Structure 1
């Protein structure tokens, strides 16, 4: 198996496992009394312990540097609270109040939020492709939220609130760890951030009664923790060693695709034609941001001159 194929399989597999965890959470929320805070606490604490343990064995000096240097610790705490904890909790709340496909697609508004934030912070107009992305994303959101009708909402205000918050949190999740990821292993950074987030949420494990779950439900909780968090993270981060970030960005579309397929086929979730159009438009912005447009245009111009 060549490097490109290996990278594609790892990225697509990681994104698919992520998408599956959204559908698993939707099933648990609709059939049990499981609490969002309890599920996220279990997910982050368990995955955090496992990934940090792996990092301590693989690169103990990196874990030491991340936890003992004040500057690194400040970045790590900001990422853990504003990025990791924020994005995980709001994503599951969005799933609870809508469904896995909708929550996952709204989360993909994060590139647009990053574009707007960078434009405001750097005080310069976005590129033309960025402006096109913003317009497409807004039209997609309109179709997803209203079903194409100005006088109706297909999403409840609560679902829309948590979905948009989740997109903002996902943007923070992308931007905050950058200073750390330039110098340290991604697995160590994410593992420690999950561990810190899980410790912060630990009180919920004692104040919220443990839900009454069947053996099948516990298997789903186990999948969300191990498959949908630990394996998905590890696979997706490893894929970057073999393929470019732009390709991994495109393959991340497997996440909403799998979430939608599982929710529609197994959970009976209905997607209206307008919701499908809106979802595809929002995902299109991810492709536009991932494709190196300058290289494509240069290649097209070169071929034109050649002919």
Structure 2
């Protein structure tokens, strides 16, 4: 199988993990741990795993790339996570979801400006279909709670979307020179240093001795799956596809989150009535638009520049 095809499988797996995270990690914050402490736990846990792998395959980096590693750690780990979770506390889930739809659009624009990538009609149409499908799915969700959100929270989520888009563009040149583990070990080291003063107080107040097995499994899934594995696969995929393709896959998250929630209700909790409320024609139409959009962006990425 070609590396490009493997990259698409990796990106699908990443967003499947992210989709499952909406169900698995629900309830951890703020009852078990505060948002900034949870971020620090994720970053430190993944940092240990990345450096453990790095010890098996050490790779030296050029001093001239130091500034790029610093920016990637700042935008891809620290700003990305701190602004998202703190923004989500200050705005509604609907507002946050709609603002995050801007991420793939920002990725394409930044790729064109900073990397000189061509923005063809397939990418524009694909991103448009994906954005439309994601918005349809978000707005069709039941029980979303209040639709009004604070302006500060909206601004935080927008900063999160912008910083992650910038990270995807900045990290691409590093993947041409280094392995994914080498890049992630340095990026998370920078991120940990920045996040430490924000999350140390909340993390030190945690009492893991009182955690149930379900909480331990949820925390383990978030640290190992959502943080370590997802970042590693995402970064490796960037070695073989453009940032625009990685960004387009973000649109799959609400679809996969809905399917995962449906599976939990229908198969594990035997709540078929509740499961059927999650899947209807709006969900089918939005999924078709999103998958078509991702396919178009992937097709455009394979065309010679």
How does the TM-score come out when normalised to structure 1? 0.69
Residue aligning to 2:23: 23
Root-mean-square deviation (Å): 4.4
Q: 1:140 to 1:262 in 2, by over 3 A?
A: closer
Deviations 1:126-166 (A, max 9, x none): 53334434644564565456559xxxx97443575555443
Q: Which runs of 5+ in 1 are unaligned?
A: 297-307
- Pick from 201, 210, 219 the counterpart of residue 206 of structure 2: 210
Q: Which runs of 5+ in 2 are unaligned?
A: 266-273
Residue aligning to 1:261: 259
Partners in 2 of 1:123 and 1:72 — Cα distance?
19
Task: Give the CA deviation at 1:73.
Answer: 1.7
Q: 1:41 to 1:176 in 2, by over 3 A?
A: same
Residue aligning to 1:13: 13
- Pick from 136, 149, 157 the counterpart of residue 157 of structure 1: 149
Residue aligning to 2:68: 75
Partners in 2 of 1:141 and 1:91 — Cα distance?
18
Residue aligning to 2:183: 189
Task: Give the CA deviation at 1:202.
Answer: 1.9
Structure ID, larger Rg: 1
How does the TM-score come out when normalised to structure 2? 0.69
Q: 1:12 to 1:124 in 2, by over 3 A?
A: closer
Residue aligning to 2:229: 231
- Pick from 89, 99, 105 the counterpart of residue 112 of structure 1: 105
Structure 1 SS opposite 2:177: coil
Q: 1:123 to 1:258 in 2, by over 3 A?
A: closer
Task: Give the CA deviation at 1:186.
Answer: 1.9
Task: Give the CA deviation at 1:284.
Answer: 4.6
Contact 1:105 1:279 in 2 (8 A): no
Partners in 2 of 1:94 and 1:287 — Cα distance?
31
Structure 1 SS opposite 2:68: helix
Residue aligning to 1:40: 39
Structure 2 SS opposite 1:41: helix
Contact 1:23 1:259 in 2 (8 A): yes
Deviations 1:45-104 (A, max 9, x none): 110122023113202x32xx25xx1x32211111101222222334445666656x9967
